Structure 1
Amino acid sequence: MASPYEIRADFDARTVVVYQAYSAAIADAALRAGRFTAPFSFNRMTWIKPSFLWLMHRSNWARKSGQERILAVRITRDGWEEALANAVLTTADPAALKAAAVHVQWDPERSVRGAALNHYSIQVGVGRHLIRTLVEEWVMELTDLTPQVRKAATLIHGGGAAKAQRLLPAERVYPLPADLERRLRP
């Protein structure tokens, strides 16, 4: 039986895609520069999510204030696994969590219509001590998915969830090294 805590993601041999929702100002600046730049904050934790549908739930399909733009952020698998190796579960001892460079929490995965599913999606909070490494070394590509998100949301709200499903990124179980898998399970 599969674990309810498997990471599901869009990945290839060298990279993994994580998703983030931003204001237009942050997204436009990042897309123009080809990397994150001001007004993106390098001084606070940034949360990356390999689950597209979880981010759609969180951002209300790019309709929440400050989350109107959806970016696919392709990062190196080495960077992704380095972040996970430095992670502490948000349910850990508060002192350990405060000292951690990366926070991990698991939330119920979501269906295309937003219903909670019976497995969990990982959220990874990269702390300010690793943000420059994320931006300068791990990020390989930024893609604006906002038009695709808006089209899918229109289909879903019009009763076309099956058609919307075809617009979603393909995600499959990410093969975590056994030591990381043990560390990250609640």
Structure 2
Amino acid sequence: MKIELKKYNEQLLEWPEEGYHIMAQYDDEKIIVYQSYKKSIGEFAVKNQYFGVGFNMERMTWIKPNFLWMMYRNGWGRKEDQEYVLAIHLKKKAFRKYLENAVYSSYSKSLGISKDEWQNQIKKSSVRLQWDPDHDPFGNKVSRKAIQIGLRNEFSHSFTKDDIILIENISDFVQEQHKFVINDDLENLLIPKEYPLLFDNEDLNRKLRLI
């Protein structure tokens, strides 16, 4: 795998305990996000390095840069049709473009706009932004928020091919590490090394609640 790993317990000491944070593995060129599929879709994607056969272009596809948030959603790859876990190395500039065009998936007064304005934005936008409670390896909620991003239309199309640097099958790694969770052995649990992402644009960071 072309993913940097680090012990969960060591990272836990470094991570922010609360607040809104895009926890991810990234560098200047790329960021890693995660998705889970049934085997036929995942195998095609890994073999061809783009999403094609079985991938539904008409549905919104959700990406998650936070590994443990993905493990909570897919039950460590044990939920039906989510057994094939993919690490997708995305162009960082594409990820940023998603967020620049994102509209929050639900309305609140803290957005600073009226509900009518928000509804108009929803109609025009093909990217959704959602913050949810992050989770520990056992699936328990923590105070820190985790981000997920929904893509459709032109953003979904670019995500499936043009925005991708590499697609890796990490299903075996997920199952190997899940054994440590089952045995309550977090001392030996390895997960992708993640740290908070901030952009060099205060307006974008403020929109995302990162500052």
User: Do these two structures clear the TM 0.5 threshold for a shared fold by scoring above it?
Assistant: yes
What does the per-residue CA deviation read over 1:29-65, in whole Å, with 9 as the maximum and x for residues that have no partner?
A: 1111111111111221110000000010000100111
Q: State whether structure 2 residue 35 is matched by structure 1 residue 11.
A: no
SS at match of 2:56: coil
Residue 13 of structure 1 and its aligned partner are, at CA, apart by: 1.2
Higher relative contact order (CA 8 A, sep 6+): 2
Structure 1 match to 2:8 = none
Give the distance between the partners of 1:182 and 1:157, measured in 2 at CA. Answer: 39
Alpha-carbon offset, residue 95 of structure 1: 4.0
The one of 67, 70, 78 aligned to 2:82: 67
Compute the TM-score of the two structures, normalised by the length of structure 2: 0.82
Q: SS at 1:30's partner residue?
A: helix
Let me know the Cα RMSD of the aligned residues.
Answer: 1.7
How many aligned residue pairs are there?
184
Q: Can you give the 5+ residue segments of structure 1 that lack an aligned partner in the other structure?
A: none
Query: What is residue 135 of structure 1 aligned with on the other side?
Result: 160
Alignment of 1:83-98 (within 5 A): 83-92=98-107, 93-98=118-123
1:175 aligns with 2:198: yes
Shift of 1:2: 8.4
Q: By how many angstroms is 1:102 displaced?
A: 0.3
- Spell out the pairing of 1:1-186 with structure 2 (5 A cutoff): 4-92=19-107, 93-164=118-189, 167-176=190-199, 177-185=201-209
Look up the equivalent residue of 1:116 and give its one-letter code.
K
- The answer as to whether partners of 1:73 and 1:139 remain within 8 angstroms in 2 is yes
Q: Is the partner of 1:129 in helix, strand or coil?
A: helix
Higher CA-based Rg: 2
Unpaired runs of at least 5, structure 2: 1-15, 108-117
2:86 aligned counterpart, secondary structure: strand
